[in-house]
């Protein structure tokens, strides 16, 4: 089934549900009837990435279905997201969430406490957690078990540094997290905490004045398969060369820095690299001047332009 046909069917399914029709393949979710600051959206099912060993790609664009009030019917095959505003009574709402059926949970402007995380841990079906402008107060990880099925974590907006720091002891009890993303990239201290993490990891970080400390930590993450980088001009070639030690990386995203022949030669030392994305404020130099040693790469994305690499000759023709 092609993507256009699948999307049309998905939209018809949403419209039908909003009109109150019940399908044979549907299930019901029950929510409190007195909290009016939560909504339900429907997303397409996540798919396993074609690169990055074991990583699952989660969708970030969904369609609003209805408010999370009372009993709600949702398509059984859908990816269900509940978005909650941190208004009065949200803690009680989280505590009343069903243990199954909610796949994605988004908390906005909420205070994250030990008691809230205890309630959250009862929602065993959550695989994607998004925190937006949240405030973390002291969290006692010793009383928490973690979310065993959580795979995708996104921390956005204000206080992102505080959220990483305050939540890390709890996050380390969530052994399945693969995707670690924040509006503030992870620093060396955060990264060191992942040295014993058992799941494949995709994360974002900066290489700047603390580049050596960051690379020390990255080298200790055993299953680092995806890396999003912002590289400062102050980082020396010798320090930058340590990227070659990240032997399991399959995807590199350059958000800042310079793509030139030297960078291409460095990335060519990553034996498993399959995808290179160049975006953001990254400057693109004459990266083909020394030939193109990334002969095994499968995809190159240059500021939104996609090219499939087969041989160095095809690269020369495509980029000339």
What pLDDT digit, counting tens, does each position of 37-55 carry? 999 998 888 887 766 766 7
92 close to 35: Cβ distance less than 8 angstroms: yes
Scored b (16 or more CB within 10 A) or e, 153-186 reads bbbbeebbebbbebbbebbebbebbbbbbbbbbb
State pTM to two decimals. Answer: 0.82
pLDDT of residue 58: 81
152 close to 56: Cβ distance less than 8 angstroms: yes
pLDDT of residue 313: 36
- What residue ranges of the chain have pLDDT lower than 70? 1-25, 50-51, 53-54, 304-320
pLDDT of residue 189: 86
Q: How far apart are CA 281 and CA 269, in angstroms?
A: 24
Angle ∠(168,174,180) on CA atoms, nearest 5: 60
Burial-class residue 236 by CB neighbours within 10 Å (0-12, 13-18, 19+).
Answer: exposed
Q: How far apart are CA 59 and CA 80, in angstroms?
A: 11
Report the residue count for the chain. 320
pLDDT of residue 157: 84
Long-range Cβ contact pairs of 137-142 (< 8 A, separation 24 or more): 137/111, 137/112, 137/113, 137/166, 138/113, 138/114, 138/166, 139/112, 139/113, 139/114, 139/166, 139/167, 139/169, 139/170, 140/114, 141/169, 141/170, 141/172, 141/173
Listed by start position, the domains of the chain span 1-184, 195-320
Q: How far apart are CA 186 and CA 290, in angstroms?
A: 33
pLDDT of residue 8: 40
In whole angstroms, how far apart are CA 157 and each of 139, 162, 227? 20, 11, 21
Angle ∠(165,83,101) on CA atoms, nearest 5: 100
């Amino acid at each position: 089934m092609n993507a256009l046909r699948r999307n049309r069917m998905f939209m018809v399914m949403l419209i039908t549900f909003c009109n109150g029709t019940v399908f044979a393949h549907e299930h019901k979710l029950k929510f409190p009837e007195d909290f009016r600051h939560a909504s339900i959206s429907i997303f397409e099912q996540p798919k396993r990435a074609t690169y990055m060993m074991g990583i699952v790609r989660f969708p970030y664009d969904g369609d609003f279905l209805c408010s999370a009030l009372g009993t709600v019917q949702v398509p059984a095959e859908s990816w269900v997201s509940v978005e909650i505003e941190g208004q009065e009574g949200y803690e009680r709402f989280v505590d009343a969430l069903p243990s199954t059926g909610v796949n994605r949970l988004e908390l906005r402007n909420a205070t994250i406490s030990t008691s809230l995380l205890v309630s959250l841990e009862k929602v065993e079906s959550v695989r994607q957690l998004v925190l937006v402008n949240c405030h973390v107060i002291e969290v006692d990880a010793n009383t928490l078990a973690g979310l065993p099925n959580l795979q995708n974590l996104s921390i956005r907006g204000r206080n992102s540094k505080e959220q990483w720091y305050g939540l890390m002891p709890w996050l380390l009890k969530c052994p399945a997290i693969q995707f670690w993303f924040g509006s503030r990239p992870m620093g060396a201290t955060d990264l060191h905490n992942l040295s014993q993490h058992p799941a494949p990891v995709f994360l974002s970080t900066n290489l700047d004045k603390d580049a050596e400390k960051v690379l020390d930590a990255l080298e200790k993450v055993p299953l680092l398969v995806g890396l999003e980088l912002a590289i400062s001009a102050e980082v020396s070639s010798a320090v930058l060369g340590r990227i070659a030690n990240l032997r399991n990386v399959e995807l590199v995203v350059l958000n800042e820095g310079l793509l030139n022949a030297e960078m291409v030669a460095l990335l060519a030392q990553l034996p498993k690299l399959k995808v290179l994305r160049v975006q953001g404020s990254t400057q693109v130099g004459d990266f083909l001047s020394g030939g193109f040693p990334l002969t095994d790469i499968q995809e190159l994305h240059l500021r939104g332009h996609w090219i499939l690499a087969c041989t160095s000759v095809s690269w020369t023709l495509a980029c000339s």
